Chains A and B, each alone.
Chain A
């Protein structure tokens, strides 16, 4: 359980994190989304005491991070996989973590196996690691203490497709055993596949939060008929707002049953009727963070949540 309450971090002349509150619950994967520079990493650094908050508080398992007696045993943290001494071997970095936490020696080998780093890779110095190997090592450092909470900043960066799949299964399994996972990412597809809950941040402020299903449900209904004009007339007749979607389909601003009823009443045969899942996280993300995007993207009206 991670609880962030009214967290604010101001730097000279600019507010990086502005009154952010959210909760990451046990048994669930919480995705922390936002464009570059939105304040994700700053929020995560404040959580683990690396950055001092201007105001507000964060607690993990009911305590401030600094008050955890042996944090590695309760909270696994990966903020930046490249932030390791380049001259240490992967095995050495895990050994340092193992010793600091007071774990049995065998945990190093177990962890190496868990993150699929081979014996020879573990003996290499981190400067010779690819980004994907650094991520695996960083996830290993986070997992070695068998924590209850994971805080991961962009853990999928640099992983190959098999690695991404591996990490997804790992985090899913972790949450299914009652663990709390907070992961940030800008890889929307990743988050969409794995997260149960979403927190969307833009310009340091929370712009949306809730379960993934709730947030994506607001997408409307996709409806298609052979005679698009008749369908449009039927929708207009029933007082349902709509807009054109791709390939002759219409995106209706109403629930599935209402749209179906309207088409039926007007005698328009439908070829397709379903929830507009196509809009998905990407459209929602772009719409919600439109103001804080550095690249102005025109979001197709109506497809936005």
Chain B
């Protein structure tokens, strides 16, 4: 009996000799991540709502504010309020939607370095925060010019550059808080709820505690980031800056470090 041994004849060698592709530059990741913030309906309307709400808030001040209160401060704060809600949500979703929508599977197979993707998202979060505040204050400035003219009062420009910088910082902290929650929880609903607990529920508890105990009333600002960053809307003393630093360390830096560490190693499913 003869047994023919047929070699696996169709083992082909790769005919696709080609150059190893160039690494993906960080600028490209930034561009793609920016695009991803706008390219869904929810993302688009969140971004658009920054401008829309700024115009609505400005209109409301013109219509409802008494003539003697029409000044840049009134417009600035009216426009700033919706920002404190929208900007953190943008920051949350930029990270958490990758997990909630499971697009992280594609994102991290196209860019295996999670650190670079997250760094791009963090950079954009800060940039969008600053740009949004500039847009808001620009709309507010137009409102102030129009509102003053309509009310027949002199234009009052009562926000100094340093005050403006502090307001941007306060909103930036809110945004980073959202970013931190997105990184730490990696779930859109949990992070959004977490942010509202932080920004709406905790100040109430802290306030009640300050009323009840003298110690918290004296020292609470060392532990409560809402409290410490709320001071940014007024004149800051050296102690207030120190309190801001300490609370930011407790509420932002430490949880962000833990969240990043977990995110780098977490299984993407």
Residues of A within 8 A of B (CB): 1, 25-28, 45, 48-52, 65-66, 68-75, 77, 79-80, 82-88, 92-93, 95-97, 99-102, 125, 141, 148, 176-179, 196, 211, 213, 255, 257-258
Contacts and interface: CB of A to CB of B under 8 A. Distances in A.
7 contacts: A69-B23, A70-B23, A72-B109, A77-B109, A83-B104, A84-B106, A257-B1
A99 B28 contact: yes
B239 interface: no
Contacts of B36: 85, 96
B83 to A, nearest CB: 23
Interface string B37-49: 0011111000000
A105 B111 CA distance: 19
Contacts of B8: 211, 213
Contact of A92 (B10, B20, B39): B39
Given A85-B103, A87-B40, A95-B35, 9 more contacts: A45-B269, A50-B267, A69-B22, A71-B111, A75-B109, A85-B36, A85-B40, A100-B32, A177-B16
A68 B110 CA distance: 10
Contacts of B268: 45, 50-51
A85 B1 contact: no
Interface in B175-215: none
Given A69-B23, A96-B32, A176 B106 contact: no
Given A26-B14, A50-B268, A92-B39, A100 B101 contact: no
Nearest to A79: B105
A137 B97 CA distance: 20
A76 B32 CA distance: 19
A179 B24 contact: no
Given A51-B268, A101-B110, A27 B24 contact: no
A199 B28 CA distance: 38
A30 B268 CA distance: 24
Interface string B1-41: 10000001011111110101111100011011001100111
Among B13, B20, B42, B109, the most chain A Cβ lie within 10 Å of the Cβ of: B109
Nearest to B15: A178
Please list the 7 inter-chain residue pairs (A to B) with the smallest Cβ-Cβ separation, ordered nearest first: A27-B12, A87-B40, A83-B102, A69-B23, A50-B268, A178-B15, A73-B21
A72 B110 contact: yes
Given A45-B267, A85-B97, A28 B11 contact: yes
Interface in B102-124: 102-106, 108-113
Given A69-B22, A73-B21, A49 B12 contact: no
**At the interface, is chain B mostly helix, strand, loop or mixed?**
loop
B112 A100 contact: no
A257 B4 CA distance: 12
B113 A66 contact: yes
Nearest to A210: B8
A84 B102 CA distance: 6
B110 A100 contact: yes
A95 B12 CA distance: 33
Contacts of A88: 39-40
Contacts of A72: 109-110
A208 B35 CA distance: 46
Given A84-B103, A92-B39, A25 B112 contact: no
A87 B42 contact: yes
B112 A71 contact: yes
Nearest to B100: A85
Given A72-B110, A87-B40, A178-B12, A100 B28 contact: yes
B12 A84 contact: no
Nearest to A70: B21
A49 B24 contact: no
A141 B21 CA distance: 17
Contact of B110 (A71, A125, A148): A71
Nearest to B40: A87
Contact of B267 (A51, A69, A211): A51
Contacts of A77: 109
B48 to A, nearest CB: 15
Contacts of A82: 102
A96 B35 contact: yes
A218 to B, nearest CB: 15
Contact of B12 (A68, A71, A125, A176): A176
Contacts of A178: 12-16
B16 A148 contact: yes
Given A88-B39, A100-B111, A83 B14 contact: no
A77 B10 CA distance: 25
B265 A52 contact: yes
B180 to A, nearest CB: 22
